[in-house]
Structure 1
Amino acid sequence: MRDSPEIGKSIAAAGVRTNYHDMGAGSPVVMIHGSGPGVSAWANWRLALPELAKERRVLAPDMAGFGYSDGSKDGTYSLDRWVKQAIGFLDALNIEQADLVGNSFGGAISLALAIRHPERVRRLVLMGAAGLKFELTPALDAVWGYTPSVQNMKEIMGTFAYDASLLTDGLALMRYEASIRPGVQEAYAAMFPAPRQRWVDALASPEDRIAGLSHQTLVIHGREDRVLPLATSLRLAQLIPRAQLHVFGQCGHWTQIEHASRFVRLVGDFLAEADAAA
């Protein structure tokens, strides 16, 4: 295996050998990636990790079936399993409480974890988050229905970004190569088979439980997001009592990449408020 920046440390989390990145020192924040083909924690958070790590300890695991973590032994995946892995990750590292930053699919996991294990979460950041029921978008249907080819990867990445200049041939090739590593596409195909509306619903938490969250929550969305509708974040901000909402204009589903420096400042300032109050 070639050396890759996507490969970090390894730990067993609820029985899943989990690849993760661990940078900085101080108050811990766990960043949970999205569900695009060929994704990993590093691919998702590579611009934010070193910046946020200047002020705190930042951890970014590959969820089961993604990146360089192990897949499911029985070939099935569920929100319950991913939440269990995330809790197991905290337990394995002896972290009693952490801030959570969840992107898209990772937002659904973060939301469910905060609902089910509220004492383990200090503050919550939901970026372009799933976790509510909504009508499956054509873009998300294409993302989850990906079959490996460089052209397909280019087309899918084209739905993620508002700024087409970010979609280089090199980036598409890198993500394509990640998607065809042994076992990766098999795991990905097992997660979200058609019809895919059921997987949107399966990642959703009950609205009454969302409305019962007591955590300070930052909800972030790109105005031009074609993958996850802006309406989901508007609804989350309405439901969560202590939520604030930030919408980035001229931004698709890649807030942390398209507006990297602004994203880091926004999240860093939000988490620093809790540091100051501690």
Structure 2
Amino acid sequence: MQINPEIGRRITANGIETNYHDLGEGQPVLLIHGSGPGVTGYANWRLTMPALAKHFRVIAPDMVGFGETERPAGHRYSMNDWVAHAVGLLDALGIERAHVVGNSFGGALAIALALEAPARVGRLVLMGSAGTAFPLTEGLDAVWGYTPSIGNMRQLLDIFAFNRALVNDDLAKLRFEASVRPGYQEAFTSMFPAPRQRWVDALASAEERVRTLTQETLLVHGREDRVIPLSSSLRLLELIPKAQLHVFGQCGHWTQIEHAERFNKLAIDHLGE
């Protein structure tokens, strides 16, 4: 029997049966995944978790509506709801304060979490982050508009990665199969229906509030990102008082995969200061 590595531990967080991974010891670091079809905390952070777990306690959940976490019937997904789920997870685990690393959608959620519960959030790492207003990209429209097929998944993976060597038919098949597990696609299509510019705007925090963030923040972005434009991180650099930005050339939306070792070192150095 093959064990699915995406399945970790289970805990009830804000009333939601939540799948999460919990590795290492020390200062807690919460890793929040992106919003691609079939995404899970493990799939998003599989190259990040082992490296960070040598220095920190790493918590990587599947947020409500994603992965192996419960999908309540008729659930209405919103930023407030995802923030409540993240806070509920910290509460359930008895964690008063955690550093937060957010990827794409997860970056927008990390910003909202830091604004709504600032005492719970230490340092921030925002990678390929949404959370600002920008015109919907063709890449993001394709991601949120995904309809299940191996061919469509292969096209999405080509959008995500600058390095095409990372994308092959086996990976496309694996991620396609993840996207069509029972309940996955139904929840996914309910989150970001067309027209999709409104969901970019819904993920964005008000700029006057973002200016009030007090957390030391590391912004990381791939220069060739076709999903979330580099302009998003450039704007966050202008808005967040204690921000620094690292841009990877020849890198798409998968910084944590395309430049895993360098990304992990940046994150460890930033969070461990």
Tell me whether the two structures share a fold, i.e. TM-score over 0.5: yes
The aligned residue for residue 59 of structure 1 is 59
Matched, 1:5 2:5: yes
Q: Distance in 1 between matches of 2:123 and 2:4?
A: 31
Q: Is the 8 A contact 1:129 1:233 kept in 2?
A: yes
The corresponding residue for 2:125 is 125
If the length of structure 2 is used for normalisation, what is the TM-score? Answer: 0.99
User: Unaligned regions of 5+ residues in structure 1, if any?
Assistant: 274-278
Aligned position for 2:75: 75
Equivalent runs, 1:1-278 vs 2, <5 Å: 3-273=3-273
Contact 1:101 1:126 in 2 (8 A): yes
* Cα distance in 2, alignment partners of residues 237 and 2 from structure 1: 44
Helix, strand or coil: the match of 2:151? helix
The secondary structure found in structure 2 opposite 1:232 is helix
Q: Distance in 2 between matches of 1:193 and 1:75?
A: 15
SS at match of 2:246: strand
Look up the SS of the partner of 2:272 in the other structure. helix
How far apart in 2 are the matches of 1:118 and 1:203?
18
Q: Secondary structure at the match of 1:235?
A: helix
Instruction: Determine helix, strand or coil for the equivalent of 1:85.
Output: helix
Partner of 1:276: none
Shift of 1:48: 0.7
- The 3-state SS of whatever aligns with 2:91 is helix
Where 2:122 maps in the other structure, the secondary structure is strand
Letter in 1 for 2:206: P
Q: Is the 8 A contact 1:126 1:220 kept in 2?
A: yes
Q: Distance in 1 between matches of 2:162 and 2:253?
A: 8
Aligned equivalents of 2:266, 2:207: Cα separation in 1: 26
Offset at residue 12 of structure 1 (A): 0.6
Q: CA RMSD in A?
A: 0.9
Q: Deviations over 1:62-86 (max 9, x none)?
A: 0011110011432321111101000
1:11 is paired with a residue of what secondary structure?
A: strand
Report the alpha carbon displacement of residue 2 of structure 1 after superposing the two structures with TM. Answer: 5.2
**SS at 1:19's partner residue?**
strand
- C-alpha distance in 2, partners of 1:122/1:73? 34
Poorly superposed stretches of 4+, deviation over 3 Å: none
Question: What TM-score do you get using the length of structure 1 for normalisation?
Answer: 0.97
Counterpart of 2:33 in structure 1: which amino acid? H
Deviation, structure 1 residue 214: 0.7
Unpaired runs of 5+ residues, structure 2, are none
- 3-state SS of 2:63 partner: coil
Q: Deviations over 1:5-30 (max 9, x none)?
A: 00000011101111000000000000
CA distance in 2, matches of 1:142, 1:58: 31
1:154 aligned partner, one-letter code = R
Equivalent AA in structure 2 for residue 141 of structure 1: D
Sequence identity of aligned pairs in percent?
62
Note if contact 1:75-1:190 (Cα within 8 Å) is conserved in structure 2.
Answer: no
Deviations 1:136-193 (CA, angstroms, capped at 9, x unpaired):
0011000000000000000011100000000011111110000011111000000000
